[in-house]
Structures are given as structure tokens and as C-alpha cells.
Chains A and B, each alone.
Chain A
């Protein structure tokens, strides 16, 4: 690999290993990742948090090893439920009753009363006939799609859908077809192209890297016209959008057009896990064929007990959701004075788009971190190469003072240099 080309490469380039020995990583991957410039960029990943993912936390910097107090804009603990006192207490109480783990797959010995009660509560919350739990969000999307589709079927997805959806279709043997992001016309063309086959459409409620919402009214209309099932991934929108927190489908009043709704327990819920809500007959069928459900240990009972409390806290009234939206509005007002590219966000996820230079992105990230801001850079291939960015996850737990201090740092170390054209090649 030519040293001048090192920074042109990314994690998108080394997925194929041409080394004869399976247990040896590709030689050029090692050349690339051992380069100090790449090492600087990689140092942002897997930095250990030493305290809870609250707005004020402590992070161990990977290069220096020193602990730093940080304002946290990266964790997706949107409603602050991960450390909510009632949620923590529910986990402790369940820990004393049930122990740490489920000690079995859900179908055999891993289902506890907590799992059954929580699944029923989630089904009621989402106003669906049934619900099943998965050990992670990734496992939920992957398992649902793998169980529903088979060879000869076509899964039509928005081009910005999560990797778990793509991996699910690979495992199912069905054909993948993508439509242009949020473009109902493109979806219509793709459904026409695959007319006559069993098809399903997947979109996300809120897109995780852009914070924009699915254009559900238009997408649902196309799906209804083609009589094709619509599956919505509400990972980032459950408990955040809609009058009762059911998500973006509720927000747009199109729930009757959605055949299956997916959510995670790791974002607003503040824990870990995934769930699917749908018709009870379909859930009964999928429990028998979704591999991650059948072949993983069930969620730990203390986590499930905590997630039940999260659901209760987030839905007994709109207090935490209202606080989140107040913070989003305050954050946006501050950011909009800085002449930044904030993309098309309409949610609690707000990108700051830096542009095509990864080097610039990571230099800005370093400055932010040195000033005490935990704001992770998002590089290609997670986002388009011309739109590398930072991604702010607004939390209900932030105070106005936290937001103002964070915005002062953003203005000094990100907006200022970007406006002045500093770091430009």
C-alpha cells in the first residue's frame, strides 16, 4: 500500500481477506491500521466509559490512558432511563430474586414471569396482538426478517436501513432490493420491478445517522397500493415520537398500514434487547423459526424487570418525553446560530456534517475531546464519504447549562474552525 494513499482507505476496504491463512488478518489491513494517522482516528473507538452514560461522565482516553470528565453527547440514553432511580431499583430487586442470567433459551428454560409480563405490556403499549423479545436489537431485526422471508422472496428496503436488516435478508436467502432514501416513487418502481413475488418493505422511523423521519404517509400509501407488508424499525423513535410514545407510525397516524413494528430496548429504554410486535398468530409462528430467539439465551431477568419499569416511567405521563423535546429545541436554537450543516434532522439525533475529509473530522474530534466534549466522529462507510460528521444524541437528562456549555465548545472547536476554513487542504 502506497503511504500516500493510506488516508484514502477505510474500514470499507478490508472486509475481504486475500490471505491464504484464515487466521491471519489481511496484510494490507495491518499496514493501514498500524499507520499512526489511522491509529489516531481509531483511538476514538472503544474508549471506555468509567461512569454511567449520563450527560456528565468520565472517559478513559485510549491514547493517553488518562481519565477525563466529559459532557456526553454520544450515548443514546435519550430519556435518561438507564440511570433512572426507579429503573435501577427494579433491576436490583429482580437481581436479588432471579440472579444474573436467564440460564436458557426462551423456548426451554429461559422464559421467566418477567419476560411474559413484559411482552404482554409491550404488545398492549404498541396496540398489537403479540410481542416477542430478542437478546439485542440486531438479533431482533435479523431474526424477524430471517424468519419471515425465504429464497424467492424480495425484501425492499430504504437504502439507509440498518445493517441488521441487510444481514437478516442475507440469512433468509431472499433477494435484497433498495430504494432511494425516503423516495416513495423509487419504492414504487422497485415494487413494480419485483411484482409477482412475495415482498416486504422495511423502513426506519428515525434514521440513525441523519435524524430524519421516514416519509411514512407516502411510503404507506405505496405499500397499500401494492398490497405489500410494511415493517417499521422504530429503534430510535419508540418512547420518543407519537402522542403516547409508540413511534413515528403513531406520529403520522399510519399504524393501520404497518404490519410489523420493531423496537430496541437499548436506546430510549436504557437497557439492552429488541422486540417485535405484530399479530399474535404471526408471533406464535415466528417464535418457532427466528433463530436468534431460539438459539440465544433469553434476556437477563433483572434487565427485563428494569425495562418494564422504563416502559412504565416513560408512558405513565409525558414528563420525560416533554423534557427531551424541550432540550432538542434549546439545542437546535443554539446550533442554528453557528452556520453549521445540520442535515435534515427532525428528531433528537442532530448531525453536524463536516464534509469529505476524514482527516479534518478526526482533528476536530480531537479538539472537542480535549475540551471535554464526548462527541463521536462518524466516518465513511457508516455515512457517505462526502458527508462525514458528528452525531449529537440529545438526552432528556441534559440541563440547559449542560447544553449551553456543550454549544460553547462546539462553537469554539468545530463551528469556528469550519467557518474559518482551518484544516482545509
Chain B
């Protein structure tokens, strides 16, 4: 993915990328059932899964968001907002 594409991404698209990466890491979760207002832990993600989902999404978006800024993030929607700040 090029950085031009990244800049064109809106929040909905970022939420979809996070969901896709979550499904890829958890295997037994249906993407259609993931609400943006839910947390990854609600779907059974552990701390290792969350690190992987965040890393994979940042790689795809070609950004690096300080992890210290993500510690207060409570759900997927807030995570997408934080990623948007760095696009």
C-alpha cells in the first residue's frame, strides 16, 4: 500500500483494517459481528493478540504510533482515531 493511499483512508476504512487483522489473529471471530465500539478483549483477544493486531495495522497504514499513547484506548473506534492522527 502506498502512502498516497494511506492518506486517502478514512476512519471507516481504518476500522475495517483493524477488524480484518483481528479476525486473522483470532480465527474464531466473525468480522460482521465486531462492533467498532467493542474492545478487542471483548472478542477474546489477549495482550499478545492486541500487540499483533496493532502492529499489523500500523504496518499496513505505514505509520508508527507510540505505544504509550495507546494504553488508554478502550475500543476499536478510539484506536482508529489514534491512527488517523498519525496518517
Contacts and interface: CB of A to CB of B under 8 A. Distances in A.
Interface of A: 1, 5, 8-10, 12-13, 16, 18, 28, 159, 166, 170, 175-178, 193, 380-381, 384-386
Contact of A170 (B44, B48, B67): B48
Given A16-B55, A16-B59, A18-B59, A381 B47 contact: no
Contacts of B69: 8, 385
Interface of B: 44, 46-48, 55, 59, 64, 66-69, 71-72
B66 A176 contact: no
A178 B66 contact: no
A10 B69 CA distance: 11
A97 to B, nearest CB: 46
A150 to B, nearest CB: 17
Contacts of B71: 380, 384-386
Nearest to B66: A8
A176 B68 contact: no
Contacts of B68: 8-10, 12, 380-381, 385
Contacts of B72: 386
Contacts of A9: 64, 66, 68
Nearest to A16: B55
B67 A12 contact: yes
B64 A159 contact: no
A177 B66 contact: no
Given A16-B55, A16-B59, A18-B59, A176 B48 contact: yes
Contacts of B48: 166, 170, 176
Contacts of B44: 193
Contact of B67 (A1, A5, A10, A18): A10
Contacts of A380: 67-68, 71
